[in-house]
Every structure is written in C-alpha cells, then in structure tokens.
Structure 1
Amino acid sequence: MPRTPSVRRPSLDTFDRAILRIVQRDNKTPQRAIAEAVNLSAAAVQRRIAAMEDAGVIMRNVAIVDTAAVAMAITSIVEVHLIDERLTTVDTAKALFRDAPEVQQCYYVTGGISFVLVILSPDMTAYEAITRRLFAQNEAVASFRSLIALDRVKFGAEVIVQ
C-alpha cells in the first residue's frame, strides 16, 4: 500500500516509540506484556496501537516467511533504467511493479537508476519469464540488471525508532 506524502503524521511520544520497537520485533506480543515493558496499562497500549494504525504509522501487520519453506529459491535485486523519467512513464512502471506478486519490494530511486526491486521466484526458468514480462517486453524499460542473492544475511521490516 503506497504512503500518501501529504498525510500529516502524529507526533510520537516515548511510549509510542517504545511500543513500536516491541511490535516491530514481534507484532504478536501480548498487549499486557507490552504494557509491562513500557509501564502503561494494557488498555492504554491497545488505544495507542489502534491510533497508530489509524494514523498510518503502523501500515500493516505481516508475517515474514522463510523463502526456502515456500520453494522460492531465487531472490534477485534488480536495477531498472527507464527510457525517461516523465510522470506517465514512472507512474505506469510503479503500477506494473506494485501489481506484480513476484516483486516483494520496489523503490523509486535517484542516482541514474530509476527503480530497485527485490523479486522472488522458484527457479531461474520462472525468473526469466518474470524478467521478460516486466522488463524485456516493456517499452518503457531501457535496461535492467539482475543481482542474484547468494545468501539472505538479514531480513525484516524493523525501522529504528528512537
């Protein structure tokens, strides 16, 4: 789900930040355990989490899946260069990448590259089909470069909350 940059985010106090540190590590931590850890009541923790969800601070609650357990053996990081950076070209590419289930992460970036994507696939044959569909047959893509991950050294979605 894309973030809306114009949405005003609430300011977070020390309790909110402490709660966020805990739920980022494990969002199934019981609220009474969070309450104990941050010195609030369970009801206060519940209200704060609900408020952060409503405000979009907590965007989603997800599970991080072991790629090997679901037979997704290939993780690739792909640099994509578009033919131009016109609004329609970029927005069309964003929509295509957002809707592709194989694309796990997608970043519109600076530095001479248009996008950086993280793609999962079960094998190289499937990966080739994905690259043909998303890049090789896409007239808006000038070029792309794939980096195949050898090892998943670190993963997760934890944001440093100070």
Structure 2
Amino acid sequence: MHKDDNAALDAFDYRILERWQHDTRIPAKAIADEIGLSVAAVQRRLKRLRALGVIRREVAELDPRKVGRPVTCIVGVDLDREGAEDLARFRKKMLASAEVQQCYYVTGQNDFMLVVIAADMEAYDAFTRRVLLADGNVKSFTTQVVLERVKTGVSVQLPG
C-alpha cells in the first residue's frame, strides 16, 4: 500500500482491524456483533483487506524463551559501501538469516538495525562471525543485549 491507499478504508475496516491485529482467532461473529455488521460483511471485509495487502500475514507470536531462544540483541550495522547492489546483497543476507527477527534500513549513525534472537551468547557470536564479520562490506557493528522484553508486537495504532 502507498500513502494514499488508506483512503479506501472506512471506519468499519479500522474497527475490524483493531480487533483482528490483536487476536486473529476472534470469531467473525464476535466482531460483527461488536461493530454492528453481519458476519458475512466482516468476512468479506477481511478478505478485501488481505487482498489489498493491509493484512500482510496472520502468524502466531511465540515466546522466544520458551522455545530455547532467550537472548535478544539489538544490532546496529554500518556498511562500508551503500550502493544499490551492496544494499540489496545485505538485505538478501538478512532475509536468509534465521536469527534475524527484524531488519530495518535506517537513517542516522547506522545503516541497518537488526533484532537478533539466539539460544545463548555463543550462538550470537557464531551468528556475528558467519553473517557480519565474514561480510567484507560490514564496516562495523554494535550490539546491545536486551535485559527485558518490556513491549513487543506488531500492532499498528489506527486512526479513530
């Protein structure tokens, strides 16, 4: 979606999205009853929102600690060269790295910010050696180890 694509969304869409982004297991009937639409209308709108790309994915949020990945690191990466091909190659490498939970191309001191999940510091060290240190275009990187996951998620504040 582009900036102006949200013009296609109305108040009912936003009310549906507000509920859906917090719990995709909520029955369409519960949403319909709450916002005053029919079940069929809610289902049609959800289908349309998926087709528009407003709803990108519907996934389960796992607790990393409970699946053996208790270490979270925030990593700032500075590249030596930032040409289009260099950036594309780095993006591709991040997409292929299972440890990288999130990757952002950013302004400021770093070129990329990563959220990396690992089993322990040894696994994180192995990741940095395999993915960052082995990349001749990575000038430097800094790591901040997360002490507590205070707030996580992917919900988006919606208009209204």
Q: Normalised by the shorter chain, which TM-score bucket? A: over 0.9
Change (3 A) 1:18 1:94: same
Distance in 1 between the 2:21 and 2:81 partners? 37
Equivalent of 1:28 in 15, 25, 30: 25
Aligned to 1:157: 154
RMSD: 1.6
Q: How does 1:10-159 map to 2 (within 5 A)?
A: 11-159=8-156
| 1:117-145 per-position Cα deviation (integer Å, ceiling 9, x unaligned) | 00100011111000111111101100000
Distance in 2 between the 1:74 and 1:54 partners? 36
TM-score normalised by L of structure 2? 0.94
- Structure 2: gaps of 5 or more residues: none
Amino acid at match of 2:95: R
| 1:34-61 per-position Cα deviation (integer Å, ceiling 9, x unaligned) | 1111111010000000001011000000
Distance in 1 between the 2:88 and 2:17 partners? 32
Change (3 A) 1:10 1:100: farther
Query: What is the CA-CA distance between 1:67 and the residue it aligns to?
Result: 1.1
- Give 3-state SS (helix, strand or coil) of 1:75's partner: strand
Change (3 A) 1:156 1:135: same
Runs of 4+ residues deviating >6 angstroms: none
Query: What is the CA-CA distance between 1:10 and the residue it aligns to?
Result: 5.9
Query: What is the CA-CA distance between 1:148 and the residue it aligns to?
Result: 0.4
Amino acid at match of 2:148: D
- Structure 1: gaps of 5 or more residues: none
Query: What is the CA-CA distance between 1:112 and the residue it aligns to?
Result: 2.7
TM-score normalised by L of structure 1? 0.93
- Give 3-state SS (helix, strand or coil) of 1:44's partner: helix
Change (3 A) 1:95 1:6: farther
